[in-house]
Structure 1
Amino acid sequence: MIAWTPDLAVGIEEIDAQHQELFRRAERFVSSLGQTSRQEVGILLSYLRLYCVTHFGAEESWMREVEYPGYAQHKAEHDGFVASLMALSDEHEKRGGPGLQATRVSTFVERWLQDHVTSTDVAFARFVLSRSE
C-alpha cells in the first residue's frame, strides 16, 4: 500500500500537503490495478500523471526562485518519473497487450515516491528552511 505518513514530512506545509495528495492519487491508481476496468485504470493513471506535472512544476518553480543548486538533478528525477508514467500509459493502452502488472507497477511507484521524498525533496526542503532562519 502506498500511503503518506508523517515520517515523510519535509517540514514545509505546502509541499507536505501536495505530497499527501500525490500519495493519495498514487494509491488510488495502484489499487485499481487488477481490480477495475482497463478504462478506469487508464483514467487513474492520467489523474496521477497530471498531478505529478502540477506538483513537480510548483517545486521546480520554487527551486528556480530560490536558486537551489540541486535544481538540475531534482528536475531530472521529476522528468524521469513522468517519462516512466508515460511509458506505463503506452503499455496500458497497447491493444491486445496484457495490461499493467500490478506488483511491478506498485513496487516501482511506491519505491520512487518514498526514495524521492525522503532524499531529494528533503534536501530541497532543508535548503529552503536554512535560508529562512
Structure 2
Amino acid sequence: MLKWTPALAVGIEEIDEQHQELFRRAERFVASLETADRQEIGILLSYLRMYCVTHFGAEEAWMRDVRYDGYAAHKAEHDRFVKDVLRLSDEHERRGGPGLEAMKVGSYLSRWLREHVTSTDTAFARFLLSQSA
C-alpha cells in the first residue's frame, strides 16, 4: 500500500531518493500501528514528521532558487500535510484516547503521498528538467 515503485519516479535522482525514504518511513509507521507499543508508535511518527519537514524544506528551497511559479501552491500542500501529521501526533498522544486506526492512517498517507508525487512533484520535476534542456 505504501510501497514506492519506479512508476512514482519524477526523473530527478535527489528527489526520487528522498521520496523512496519518505515512503519507507511512512510504511514503517503504518506497520507499527498494528504491532508496536504506544511509545514506539510515537517515535516512528516523530521520525516520519521530521523527515517530511526535512524533505519538504529541501524541495521548497529548490523551488525558491529556480523561481518556480507553482511554489505557493506546492508549499501549501506540504503545509497541510505537516499539519495533518501533527494532528495525528496529537491524536496519538491523547491520554485515554483510542489511538490511531492503522487502515485509516495508512489509506490517508498512501493516497496523499501518491497524489502529491504523481501530480505536484512531477510538475515541479518537469519544470526543473525543462530549465536544464
Partner of 2:26: 26
> Which runs of no fewer than 5 residues in structure 2 stay unpaired?
none
Residue 109 of structure 1, CA deviation? 0.4
Cα distance in structure 2, aligned partners of 1:102 and 1:14 = 30
Partner of 1:95: 95
Partner of 1:58: 58
Cα distance in structure 2, aligned partners of 1:124 and 1:15 = 10
Summarize deviations over 1:49-95 as a string: whole Å, max 9, x none. 00000000000000000000000000000000000000000000000
Partner of 2:6: 6
Question: Does residue 40 of structure 1 match 2:40?
Answer: yes
Q: How many residues align?
A: 133
Residue 34 of structure 1, CA deviation? 2.3
Cα distance in structure 2, aligned partners of 1:35 and 1:47 = 17
Cα distance in structure 2, aligned partners of 1:20 and 1:64 = 23
Question: Does residue 70 of structure 1 match 2:70?
Answer: yes
TM norm structure 2:
0.99
Cα distance in structure 2, aligned partners of 1:124 and 1:107 = 25
Partner of 1:112: 112
Summarize deviations over 1:98-123 as a string: whole Å, max 9, x none. 00011110000000000000000000
Cα distance in structure 1, aligned partners of 2:103 and 2:17 = 27
- Say which SS state the counterpart of residue 34 (structure 1) adopts: helix
Cα distance in structure 1, aligned partners of 2:103 and 2:28 = 14
Residue 26 of structure 1, CA deviation? 0.4
- Say which SS state the counterpart of residue 33 (structure 1) adopts: helix
> Which runs of no fewer than 5 residues in structure 1 stay unpaired?
none
TM norm structure 1:
0.99
Question: Does residue 49 of structure 1 match 2:42?
Answer: no
Matched AA of 1:107: S
In the TM superposition, structure 1's runs of 4+ consecutive aligned residues that sit over 2 Å from their partners are none
- Kindly report the root-mean-square deviation, in angstroms, between the aligned alpha carbons of the 2 structures: 0.5
